[in-house]
């Protein structure tokens, strides 16, 4: 898929799970990586990544021979997002790739969703992606080049009960992807979206706790509907990162506005 040497990638939600894996794989391909995470818990949700985990992500990126800059920032805050871009340009001089990976989920019946929970889910999943995208767009326009990858969810394509707030937020990101792709295409900017099925990360551990189930049991139940069986039905973080690496490579130069389901056929069959 080609090397990322000389390119700079910003990844949000980079402290652990999918985000950390994206960072390490991008660094291994030669990219400079800016790893962003809020590094503090959000009330009413499962534990989020710590500053130590974010530093570990950056250290693992550097172990590949690439440079990495960890930044503690809240994607909900435009001022902090602007600082992320400023630090990126100061350190690396450009931004080529943005992966909007930060997200929150929670299980709630519609008549029990609190204002605080609804605001947090919409603000992190939707406002955060908007804040990051509008921050990097001027630099990408000036370069006449950019790759923006939004991480949505299979729930954006096939919404789930008790996850209406999360499904709606991820559906909004899938729709924004198509709009941004048309808008930014004249500047050579590709905008695509990955809609993962269930991956066993801290998010699923947190949702499993809400259901009073073991993480592995919840993981299997959330993955029901895959066309594959047994271990083949288990989606891994590398499955998602493989899709990311393709979409940020030059092999995908003519692909934009696409929502790529990586879910074992759950939503498309």
pLDDT at 1 over 60: no
| Distance between CA atoms of residues 242 and 148, nearest Å | 15
Reported as a single tens digit per residue, the pLDDT across 131-174 is 999 999 999 999 999 999 999 998 898 888 999 999 999 999 99
Q: Which candidate in 46, 145, 162, 166 is catalytic? A: 166
pLDDT at 255 over 70: yes
First to last CA, the chain: 28
- CB neighbours of residue 251 within 10 Å: 12
3-state secondary structure 97-132: EEEECCCCCCCCCHHHCCHHHHHHHHHHHHHHHHHH
- Asked if 102 contacts 154 with a C-beta cutoff of 8 angstroms, the reply is no
Across residues 28-54, what is the average pLDDT? 95
b/e map 153-179, b = 16+ CB within 10 Å: bbbbbbeeebbbbbbbbbbbbbebbbe
pLDDT at 191 over 70: yes
Q: Would you give the DSSP letter of residue 186?
A: G
Angle between helices 51-62 and 17-28 (to 10 degrees): 20
Which pLDDT value is given to residue 228?
86
The more confident residue out of 148 and 230 is 148
- Asked if 247 contacts 256 with a C-beta cutoff of 8 angstroms, the reply is no
| Distance between CA atoms of residues 261 and 269, nearest Å | 11
pLDDT at 2 over 60: no
Which pLDDT value is given to residue 115?
97
Domains of the chain from N-terminus onward: 8-262 (3.40.50.720)
- The yes-or-no answer on residue 166 being catalytic is yes
* 216 pLDDT tier (thresholds 50, 70, 90): confident
């Amino acid at each position: 898929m080609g090397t990322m040497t000389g390119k700079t990638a910003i990844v949000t939600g980079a402290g652990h799970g999918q985000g950390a894996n994206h960072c390490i794989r991008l660094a291994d391909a030669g990219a400079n990586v800016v790893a962003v995470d809020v590094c503090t818990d959000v009330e009413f949700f499962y534990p989020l990544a710590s500053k130590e985990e974010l530093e570990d992500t950056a250290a693992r990126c550097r172990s590949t021979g690439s440079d990495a800059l960890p930044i503690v920032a809240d994607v909900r805050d435009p001022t902090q997002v602007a600082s992320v871009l400023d630090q990126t340009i100061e350190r690396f001089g450009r931004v080529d790739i943005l992966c909007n990976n930060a997200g929150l989920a929670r299980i709630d019946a519609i008549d029990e969703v609190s204002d605080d929970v609804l605001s947090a889910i919409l603000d992190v999943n939707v406002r955060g992606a908007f804040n990051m995208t509008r921050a990097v767009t001027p630099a990408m326009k000036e370069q006449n080049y950019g790759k923006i990858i939004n991480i949505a969810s299979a729930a954006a394509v096939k919404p789930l009960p008790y996850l209406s707030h999360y499904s709606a937020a991820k559906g909004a990101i899938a729709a924004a992807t198509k709009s941004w792709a048309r808008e930014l295409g004249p500047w050579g900017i590709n905008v695509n979206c990955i809609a993962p099925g269930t991956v066993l990360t801290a998010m699923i551990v947190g949702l499993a706790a809400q259901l009073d189930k073991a993480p592995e049991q919840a993981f299997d139940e959330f993955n029901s509907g895959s066309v594959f069986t047994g271990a083949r039905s288990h989606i891994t973080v590398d499955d998602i990162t493989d899709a990311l690496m393709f979409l940020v490579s030059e092999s995908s130069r003519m692909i934009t506005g696409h929502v790529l389901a990586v879910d074992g056929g759950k939503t498309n069959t």
